Amino acid sequence: MPPRSQASVSQRQGPVFSAASAMNAKAVDRNGKSGYDLKSISKNLRVKILYYEEIKMVRPATRIRFRFCFLSLVFVFLAACASKYKIAENFHDPNVDFALLRNVAVMPFSNLTNDKLAGERVRSSFMNSLLSTGVLYVIPPGEVARGISRAGINKPWEPSGDDIAKFTAIVGADSIITGVVMEYGEVRSGAVSANVISLSMQMLEKDSRKVIWSASTTKGGISIWDRLFGSGGQPMEDVTQAAVDDLINKLFY
């Protein structure tokens, strides 16, 4: 096998071999005497050291920029998908003139949570907030209870068409609102906890006995700030009021 030249070996081993070769190479001075050119060797070593320090500084920065660009693309893609496949959380019947509705009865809510009082708490908060708007007259809960009893409604949170006709005739309501409380209370993830509420409502008109409005909302829960700083989230009353206000805004706007 023919011997490899020093140039080819130096080219393959890179800057480290070149620096070593510079230390072993002999230089010739002006008088023709051979010896080591220490000034040249020192200069070459400084160049190589600076080169490797540059590489160490540039490579981590390049990796950071690459990761940042990659994560940015992922977030943009997820946001696009979320906006494309977003589920509608608010429905208004376009054939109904909501300005003609004057009296509304809020029926007892269905409670799917472990808190037995969650349905009544949310219903009371919703009725008070709806009445405070001044747009609709909310029939008092005592009259609603008597109307349910006189109409013989077994499940007031999901009344039938006949139940709606009998009940609205008794209490004098233009429409009724039913609701379902799906989540209410504290949720925990590891060492972090926060309050959350999730509910949906619908309005049914007395004549058509059909759903003319429906909406859902979820408020509270564990946010990224709760995970970072370990906060306990908002009080249950504030979370409930935020959900109620969201539903009322969806009803009128």
Q: Give tens-digit pLDDT for 181-240.
A: 999 998 877 777 889 999 999 999 999 999 999 999 999 987 666 666 556 668 899 999
pLDDT at 64: 57
Whether residue 95 sits in one domain with residue 208 = yes
Q: Which domain holds residue 186?
A: 90-252
Q: Between these two residues, 89 and 15, which has the higher pLDDT value?
A: 89
3-class secondary structure for the chain? CCCCCHHHHHHHHCHHHHHHHHHHCCEECCCCCEECCHHHHHHHHHHHHHHHHHHHHHHHHHHHHHHHHHHHHHHHHHHHHHHHCCCCCEEECCCCCHHHCCEEEECCCEECCCCCCHHHHHHHHHHHHHHHCCCCEECCHHHHHHHHHHHCCCCCCCCCHHHHHHHHHHHCCCEEEEEEEEEEEEEEECCEEEEEEEEEEEEEECCCCCEEEEEEEEEECCCHHHHHHCCCCCCHHHHHHHHHHHHHHHHHC
Whether residue 81 sits in one domain with residue 98 = no
pLDDT at 186: 87
Listed residues 39, 60, 86: the one ending a domain: 86
Instruction: Give the total number of structural domains in the chain.
Output: 2
pLDDT at 188: 79
Whether residue 29 sits in one domain with residue 15 = yes
pLDDT of 157 over the 70 cut:
yes
Give 74-122 pLDDT, tens digit per residue: 554 554 443 333 345 789 999 999 989 999 999 999 999 999 999 999 9
Whether residue 157 sits in one domain with residue 106 = yes
Whether residue 100 sits in one domain with residue 193 = yes
Whether residue 173 sits in one domain with residue 142 = yes
Whether residue 116 sits in one domain with residue 223 = yes
CATH of the domain at 238: 3.40.50.10610
Whether residue 189 sits in one domain with residue 123 = yes
Whether residue 26 sits in one domain with residue 96 = no
What share of the chain in percent tops pLDDT 70? 60
Whether residue 114 sits in one domain with residue 54 = no
Whether residue 176 sits in one domain with residue 115 = yes
Whether residue 129 sits in one domain with residue 14 = no
